[in-house]
Amino acid sequence: MTERTCQAIILAAGEGTRMKSKHPKVVHELAGKAMLSHVLALVKAVGASRCDVVVGPDMAPIADLVKREVPDAQIYIQTERLGTGHAVLAARDALEAPADDVLILYGDTPLVTSRSLEKMRDGLANHAAVAVLGFRAEDPGGYGRLITDSDGNLLAIREDKDATTSEREINFCNSGVMAFDGKSILTLLDSIGKENAKGEYYLTDAVEIARNRGDKVAAIEGSEDEVLGINSRAQLAEAELIFQRNLREKALAAGVTMISPDTVFLASDTELSSDVVIEPNVFFGPAVKVGEGATIRAFSHIEGAVIGDNVVVGPFARLRPGTKLGKGSKIGNFVEVKNAEFGEGAKANHLAYIGDAQVGDAANIGAGTITCNYDGYQKHRTEIGHGAFVGTNSSLVAPVKIGDGAYIGSGSVITKDVESDALAVARGKQISRLGWAKNMREKMTSNKPKNK
């Protein structure tokens, strides 16, 4: 492709009433990220230096999301819903000095691939005024049809309600995703009328207008999966299945072992190194990185965590944001870690909560141990030194420091710093009263009322 500038206009004004939600449709998440966020990332990946988003009135959550992720993006309001052509013209100001290539995308179509958009840009570079992304539909009912001549040249796009009986037999369908040559786009958009069954300005009419002007129009074929538009919860679930399948296939191809791939849920930004082994029923939330040779055992839930090489996590472990696990460390069954760093070889094998803490290399956290990090108003940190041993059922009341090599006796409640290599025991003194239990039983039995 020649060196051409590119901008994107993303249409996100749909109310999404079929989602049955108080939230705008495009902020619903797919693989841990809003649908619109996927589209914003896509346009960046294909080289768009400008991004404009068209929203409806009272859609502040969408504008806020866009500004967080693309601060220099422009937001335009579509006050009336008169079709896709009308929606694009809501961003007319962005088209007064357009880039060479103008991509028209949809906030509810998040599975489109960069490869397809690059092919569309190639079509524009080869002197097309318009490029259209199409797909072969198993059931074309309801879709606009791509009308081509005997040589495969795109002649027009016919909406389903306006198509003839023979045109409805065509299975090459319109995805809605289009690309325009910047020099032509405003002229084409201003030529679109609304003489159709719905009385709307169809963006797709630009194809026939361009052909009648003698301009070249390119039809690019993508897959049916990638152009799935999401208008309902059922379609969101369908898109999630597709997205997850793609993520798993990519991970497997990169050297990750998944014992039962269909039971592993990945976020769109999950980073898995080679020779990672993932057992069944594991959930990865956003911002997780896993180092080489790590093992994630079954039924673990992980988000916002960095897991080092050769670490073992789980089964039934929960890693929350801010967790960092050093090389060869171990987080065992029913252990929860939050905003805490484990050094190399450190371990908490079972039944523990470690929050807001630093755990030194080779330290051992016994079963039932908790860091008491919250006093009802503020969070406080616990520091556990290298090689320290914390006995079972210990409570470390932060802020507190356990020195290198220190030993905490089981059942202790530690409220003061412990020196390196010291033994700290903080529990009530054990008292035994000989015969007390026997005397208590005899007394209780003698006083027990007899059944009548």
Q: Does residue 246 share a domain with residue 289?
A: yes
Q: Does 432 fall in a domain?
A: no
Q: Would you give the DSSP letter of residue 281?
A: S
Buried b (16+ CB within 10 A) or exposed e, 207-227: bbbbbeeebbbbbbebebbbb
Tens-digit pLDDT profile for residues 13-53: 887 788 899 889 999 999 999 999 999 999 999 999 999 99
Element (H, E) at 301: strand 301-302
Do 297 and 337 fall into the same domain? Answer: yes
Q: How confident is the model over 92-119, as a mean pLDDT?
A: 96
CATH number of the domain residue 134 falls in: 3.90.550.10
**CATH code of the domain containing 316:** 2.160.10.10
Predicted local distance difference test score (pLDDT) of residue 171: 94
Residue 449 lies in a domain: no
**Distant-in-sequence, close-in-space partners of 295: CB < 8 Å, separation ≥ 6:** 276, 277, 279, 311, 312, 313
Give pLDDT, residue 94: 94
Q: pLDDT band for position 452 (50/70/90)?
A: low
Each residue of 7-23: pLDDT tens digit?
Answer: 999 999 887 788 899 88
Residue 437 lies in a domain: no
Active-site pick, 38, 86, 350, 386: 350
- Say which amino acid occupies 145: R
Q: What percent of the chain has pLDDT over 90?
A: 83
Q: pTM, whole model, 2 decimals? A: 0.89
For residue 132 the two structure tokens come to 């259209």
- Residue-wise pLDDT for 115-130, tens only, equals 999 999 999 999 999 9
Do both 178 and 305 map to the same domain? no
Q: Are residues 223 and 239 in the same domain?
A: no
Rg of the Cα trace of the chain? 31
pLDDT at 151 over 80: no
Q: Which of 176, 193, 227 is the last residue of a domain?
A: 227
Closest CA to 219 of 123, 149, 127, 125: 123
- pLDDT, one tens digit per residue, over 159-171 is 888 889 899 999 9
Q: Does residue 365 or residue 167 have the better pLDDT?
A: 365
Domain for residue 70, yes or no? yes
Q: What secondary structure, in 3-state letters, does 330-357 show?
A: EEEEEEEEEEEEECCCCEEEEEEEEEEE
**Tokens 């080869």, residue located:** 126
Whether 247 contacts 270, CB under 8 Å: yes
Q: Tell me the mean pLDDT in the region 229-236.
A: 94
Least confident of 106-115, 201-210, 250-259: 201-210
Q: End-to-end distance of the chain based on CA atoms, in angstroms?
A: 98
Question: Is residue 403 domain-shared with residue 315, that is, in the same domain?
Answer: yes
Residue 2 pLDDT: 54
Residue 325 and residue 178 share a domain:
no
Q: Are residues 79 and 103 in the same domain?
A: yes
Domain boundary, last residue among 173, 197, 227: 227
pLDDT of 1 higher than 70 = no
Query: What letters, b where the CB count within 10 A reaches 16 and e where it falls short, cover 134-152?
Result: bbebeebeebbbbbbeeee
Q: Strand (E) positions, 344-393?
A: 347-359, 364-365, 370-372, 382-384, 389-390
Q: Residue 62: left if φ>0, alpha if ψ -120 to 50, beta else—which one?
A: alpha
Three-class DSSP category at 180: strand
* pLDDT class of 156 with cuts at 50, 70, 90: confident
Torsion angle, alpha carbons of 14, 18, 19, 23, to 10: 50
Range of the domain at 182: 6-227
Q: 35-45 vs 60-69: helix axis angle to the nearest 10?
A: 40
CB neighbour list of residue 371: distance below 8 Å, 6 or more residues apart: 340, 353, 354, 355, 356, 357, 382, 396, 398
Two tokens at 61?
């959550």
Average the pLDDT over 127-155 and give the result: 89
Which two three-digit tokens encode residue 263?
Answer: 């039971």
The answer to whether residue 239 sits within a structural domain is yes
Establish if 439 belongs to a structural domain.
no
Decide the pairing of beta strands 289-290 and 271-272.
parallel
With respect to residue 164, please indicate whether it lies within any of the assigned structural domains. Answer: yes
Tell me the pLDDT of the chain averaged across its residues: 94
Query: In this model, does residue 104 exceed pLDDT 60?
Result: yes
Catalytic, 386? Answer: no
| In the predicted structure, residue 418 carries a pLDDT above the cut 70 | yes
What single-letter amino acid sits at 91?
A: A
> What is the signed CA dihedral for 245, 251, 254, 260, rounded to 10 degrees?
-90
Looking at the DSSP bridge assignments, the partners of residue 101 are 6, 181
> How many domains would you assign to the chain?
2
Could you give the C-alpha distances from 426 to 171, 350, 357, 408, 414, in angstroms and in order? Answer: 76, 22, 20, 9, 6
Beta bridge partners of 389: 364, 407
Considering the domain architecture, whether residues 59 and 188 belong to the same structural domain is answered as yes
Q: 320-332, pLDDT tens digit by residue? A: 999 999 999 999 9
Do residue 273 and residue 328 come from a single domain?
yes
Give the pLDDT confidence of 279-334 residue by residue, as tens digits. 999 999 999 999 999 999 999 999 999 999 999 999 999 999 999 999 999 999 99
Same domain? 185 vs 78: yes
- The residue with tokens 């016994």 is 366
| Within a domain: 391 | yes
State whether 361 and 322 are in the same domain: yes
Last residue of a domain, one of 172, 198, 227: 227
For residues 255 and 158, membership in a common domain is answered with: no
